[in-house]
Amino acid sequence: MSAPLDLPKWADTILVPAISVVAAFLVAGLVVLAIGENPLTATRWLLLGSLGTGEGLGFTLFYMTDFIFVGLAVAVAYHAGLFNIGGEGQATLAGFGIALVLNNLTFLPGFLLIPLGILGAAAFGALWAAIPGYLQAKRGSHIVITTIMFNWLASVLLVYLLVNVLREPQSMNPETRAFPDASHIPYMHDVFAAFGIEIPNSQLNLTLVLALAASYCVWLLIYRSRLGYAIRVVGSNPSAAVYAGISPARIIIIAMVISGALAGGLAVNELMGYQHRLLLEFTSGYGFVGIAVALMGRAHPVGIILASLLFGILYQGGAELAFEQPAITRDMVVVIGGIIILFAGALDGLFRRLVAHLFARQKLARA
């Protein structure tokens, strides 16, 4: 028997991840030191760049919006016992769905076009996730393998579509024409301006509100609804699910559909909120960040929001850092991000065990 891994809830959800982050920063600091830079200045630039200015904060929250969606996507599948690595591909297809809706229904007003665009994203993301879900449920093909393959398929499919089908004839760029103006999700600075409040311009748009609403809905779904109950039974005890008359195959497909639809949120934020056209590689690998976000957030919406904020800081602050201290390149920032993912995800159990041990000892001393 190993040491009991029971922790008070606050320690489990806040203390352990915090220790992981601190440890990650310490190790990252050593890396920075090793290339001859001062880790303290680096940290200063990182935080200043992401939180220190209104503009920086806007960008941080913009990235956070992306990460919340992909984090939730991974989490919902995770509760059904599935490891959805395919957020990247699902978001890519969602982008295609958006372009199909927006560029074909140009005559509609914004209040119809925007929801339809979002639905298009959700539907295409869901479809792209449903296929691996079906293969897992009915054919036993491992979801990790199939979702990875579907990432490649999505990426190649998008190249084909943009080069051969969707590209504007006179354009040299592999991208669609711009979406109609009515379909743009309003920028946050414009929204605030409408109320007479001035905030710095950034890519941040109202999709953030949608992400927070989605977080609440996912919480309600997973922890309070009958469907979420069935999802969690399948994820944590498949034979109990069979006993209970819950069909694991059905739940696996449903969970993947929801997961894929949520991954579509990444495309909504990037395309409808900022780029306003469909272009190559708009997902920038954020689909994979979702895995780290979900792991770090313990697959709970609140944890995912906090982890998304952290990764938002890292992405925005990292960009500033690479700009201010050229010795620390973009690649270096990726390394630091990797270290954090390593500590928060893979090594999470290490600190959990340690903290649990300390708690047990303390309890014993008091007894």
Partner 1 sequence: MSPAIELIAINKSFGAVHANKDVNLSVARGTIHGVVGENGAGKSTLMSILYGFYEADSGEIRVNGKPIAIRSPIDAICAGIGMVHQHFMLVEPLSVVENVMLGAEGGAMLRVGEAKVRAELARLAKDYGLEIDVDATVGDLSVGLQQRVEILKALYRGADILILDEPTAVLTPAEADALFGLLRSLKEQGKTVILITHKLREIMAITDRVSVMRRGEMVATVETANTSPPELAELMVGRRVLLRVEKDEKTPGAPLLEVDNLSVVDSRGVLRVASASFTVRAGEIVGIAGVAGNGQSELLEAIAGMRQPVLGSIRLEGKAIHSSEHNPHRMRQLGLLHVPEDRLRTGLVPAFPAFESAILGFSDEPHLGRGPILDHDRLIADLAQKMEQYDVRPPAPRLKSSKFSGGNQQKIVLAREIERNPKVLLVGQPTRGVDIGAIEFIHRRLIALRDSGVAILLVSVELDEIMNLSDRILTMCGGKITGERKASQTNEQELGLLMAGVVDEAA
Residues of this chain that bind partner 1 (CB under 8 A): 1, 3-4, 6, 220, 224-227, 229-230, 232-233, 236-237, 239-240, 242-245, 360, 363-364, 367
Output 355-363 pairs: Cβ under 8 A, ≥24 positions apart.
Answer: 355/7, 355/11, 355/15, 355/16, 355/19, 356/3, 356/4, 356/5, 356/6, 356/7, 357/3, 359/6, 359/7, 359/8, 359/11, 360/3, 360/4
Between 156 and 220, CB nearer to partner 1: 220
| Minimum separation from the CB atom of position 79 to partner 1 (A) | 11
Q: Is 47 exposed, middle or buried (0-12, 13-18, 19+ CB in 10 A)?
A: middle
Least distance in angstroms from the C-beta of 7 to partner 1: 11
Q: CB-wise, 232 or 277, nearer to partner 1?
A: 232
Residues 6+ apart with CB under 8 A from 183: 102, 110, 113, 114, 117, 272, 276
**CB-wise, 66 or 348, nearer to partner 1?**
348
- Structure tokens that stand for 180 in this block: 């109609």
Q: Which is nearer to partner 1, 173 or 362 (CB)?
A: 362
Q: Name residues whose C-beta falls within 8 Å of residue 95's C-beta, 6 or more positions apart in sequence.
A: 121, 158, 267, 270, 271, 278, 282, 283
**What angle do the packed helices 286-296 and 301-324 form, to 10 degrees?**
130
State the Cα–Cα distance between residues 362 and 223, nearest whole angstrom.
32
Query: Minimum distance between the CB of residue 295 and partner 1, rounded to whole angstroms?
Result: 17
Residue 30 Cβ vs partner 1, minimum distance, rounded to whole Å: 35
User: Which residue type, as a one-letter code, is found at position 49?
Assistant: G
Tell me which residue of 324, 257, 282 sits closest to 98, measured CA to CA: 282
Query: Considering the complex, what minimum distance in angstroms separates the CB of residue 136 from partner 1?
Result: 17
Of 6 and 181, the one with the shorter C-beta distance to partner 1 is 6
Cβ of residue 137: shortest distance to partner 1, in angstroms?
Answer: 16
- The C-alpha angle 70, 74, 78, rounded to 5 degrees, equals 165
Whichever of 6 and 198 has its CB closer to partner 1, that residue is 6
Residue (213 or 220) nearer to partner 1, CB: 220
First to last CA, the chain: 22
CA distance linking residue 252 with residue 235, whole number of Å: 9
Rounded distance between C-alpha atoms, residue 26 and residue 23, angstroms: 5
- Residue 84 Cβ, how far from partner 1 at the closest point, in Å? 20
Residues 13 and 307: beta-carbon distance below 8 Å: no
Minimum gap (Å) between residue 12 Cβ and partner 1: 13
Toward partner 1, which CB reaches closer, 2 or 170? 2
| Cα(188)–Cα(200) distance, integer angstroms | 9
Amino acid at 319: A
Closest separation in Å from C-beta 82 to partner 1: 16
Nearer to partner 1, 228 or 318 (CB): 228
Residue nearer to partner 1 on the CB measure, 40 or 220: 220
Q: Measured from the CB of residue 187, what is the shortest distance to partner 1 in angstroms?
A: 35
Q: Which residues pair with 279 in a beta bridge?
A: 175
* Residue (of 206, 211, 203, 204) closest to 73 by Cα position: 211
